[in-house]
């Protein structure tokens, strides 16, 4: 699916992040394939190079919900204003290896405040300790729970949406397939630079999929692009930067959605790369893109 967004130079604020990272000598987040080491490294990199923005916040509740193998931690983030547009179940990014409720809390707060949704931020199990399909099982369970407890979240009778960034966008897209196939009414899927085809990929994908990774990558629960059909999926908002290593992946998924007749709003940003929702404190262009996607979600749920 071609897109007419011009390729601009990468946002200078993000170029500076890359420069400082290289100068620091800190390895790539996933180098070594050790989950706990990578998570600690990621926390240090975020604090040093792109700290989370300090946003005004409404009520935030830490709680647990029943998971496939025991209690699953979640964080319920309410908007500052009392009125809500609905509920958003959110899955954080981090290559299925990194990330947690804390690392992506600002994502949830921005979405809650700007889109007016109550966000259920889900602490799904991470690889390599818990390889595929553990995260998917958690995501599907969270969708089922949210659909049955809307009165505790954004309100019974108000829309239910799903969203996520990167690996979390992958889980959101898989969860949207689950909702379609299990009769869960889903108003929207908000996909922020999602990974939709894990075939032929290395790095964290191998940690996530484990043994026989290429075979597992053919499973639609790992690669939603591999689904027999995408027809009947919830309307989709997809945001990606031209400089993102998943840009072509996202164009392919967008084309497949359109071919299946799924309503699609695609936001392509010519000066941004992967992970821009995390750079909002240091990159005004990233903040503007993130706010636009939140506004898109609000308008869709209000429609």
Q: What digits encode the pLDDT tens for the residues 54-89?
A: 999 999 999 999 999 999 999 999 999 878 999 999
Confidence (pTM)? 0.97
In a domain, 31, yes or no: no
Contacts 24+ apart (CB under 8 A), 251-254: 251/1, 251/2, 251/3, 252/1, 252/196, 252/197, 252/225, 253/173, 253/191, 253/194, 253/196, 253/197, 253/224, 253/225, 254/1
Residue 120, both tokens = 């259920």
Mapped onto helix, strand or coil, the DSSP state of residue 118 is: strand
In a domain, 6, yes or no: no
In a domain, 112, yes or no: yes
In a domain, 143, yes or no: yes
Answer whether residue 3 shows pLDDT above 80. no
CA gap 281, 99 in Å, rounded: 18
CA gap 165, 55 in Å, rounded: 19
In a domain, 3, yes or no: no
CA gap 67, 49 in Å, rounded: 34
In a domain, 122, yes or no: yes
Answer whether residue 2 shows pLDDT above 60. no
| pLDDT tens string 164-175 | 999 999 999 999
CA gap 213, 80 in Å, rounded: 43
In a domain, 39, yes or no: no
Answer whether residue 41 shows pLDDT above 70. yes
Domain count, the chain: 1
Q: To which H or E segment does residue 222 belong?
A: none
Answer whether residue 35 shows pLDDT above 50. yes
Determine what percent of the chain is predicted with pLDDT higher than 70: 99
CA gap 78, 216 in Å, rounded: 37
- List, in order, residues 6 or more apart from 59 with CB less than 8 Å away: 78
Q: Give catalytic residues, as residue numbers.
A: 166, 244, 274
| pLDDT tens string 105-158 | 999 999 999 999 999 999 999 999 999 999 999 999 999 999 999 999 999 999
Report H helices in 50-188: 105-115, 134-148, 167-181
Question: What per-residue confidence (pLDDT) applies to 221?
Answer: 98
CATH number for position 280: 3.40.50.1820
Question: What per-residue confidence (pLDDT) applies to 32?
Answer: 86
Residue 258, both tokens = 């359109």
Answer whether residue 1 shows pLDDT above 80. no
Let me know if 303 is exposed, middle or buried by CB neighbors in 10 A (0-12, 13-18, 19+): exposed
In a domain, 292, yes or no: yes
**Structural domain range at position 140:** 12-20+52-302
């Amino acid at each position: 699916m071609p897109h007419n967004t011009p390729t601009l130079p990468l946002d200078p604020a993000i170029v500076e992040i890359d420069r400082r990272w290289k100068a620091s000598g800190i390895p790539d987040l996933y180098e070594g394939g050790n989950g706990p080491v990578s998570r600690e490294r990621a926390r240090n990199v975020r604090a040093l190079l792109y700290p989370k923005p300090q946003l005004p916040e409404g009520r935030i509740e830490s709680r647990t919900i029943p998971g496939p193998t025991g209690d699953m931690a979640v964080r319920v983030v309410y908007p500052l204003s009392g009125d809500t547009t609905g509920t958003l179940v959110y899955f954080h990014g981090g290559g299925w290896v990194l990330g947690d409720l804390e690392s992506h809390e600002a994502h949830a707060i921005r979405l809650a405040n700007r889109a007016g949704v109550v966000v259920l931020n889900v602490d799904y199990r991470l690889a390599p300790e818990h390889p595929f399909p553990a995260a998917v099982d958690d995501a599907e369970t969270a969708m089922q729970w949210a659909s049955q407890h809307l009165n505790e979240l954004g309100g019974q009778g108000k829309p239910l949406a799903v969203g996520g960034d990167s690996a979390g966008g992958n889980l959101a897209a898989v969860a949207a397939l689950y909702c379609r196939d299990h009769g869960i009414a889903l108003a929207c899927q908000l996909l922020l630079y999602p990974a939709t085809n894990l075939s032929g990929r290395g790095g964290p994908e191998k940690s996530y999929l484990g043994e026989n990774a290429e075979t597992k990558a053919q499973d639609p629960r790992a690669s939603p692009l591999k689904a027999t059909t995408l027809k009947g999926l919830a309307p989709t908002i997809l945001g990606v930067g031209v400089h993102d290593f998943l840009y072509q992946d996202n164009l392919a998924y967008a084309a497949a959605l359109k071919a299946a007749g799924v309503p699609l709003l695609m936001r392509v940003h010519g000066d941004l790369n992967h992970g821009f929702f995390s750079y909002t404190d240091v990159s005004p262009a990233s903040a503007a893109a993130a706010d636009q996607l939140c506004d898109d979600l609000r308008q869709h749920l209000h429609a």
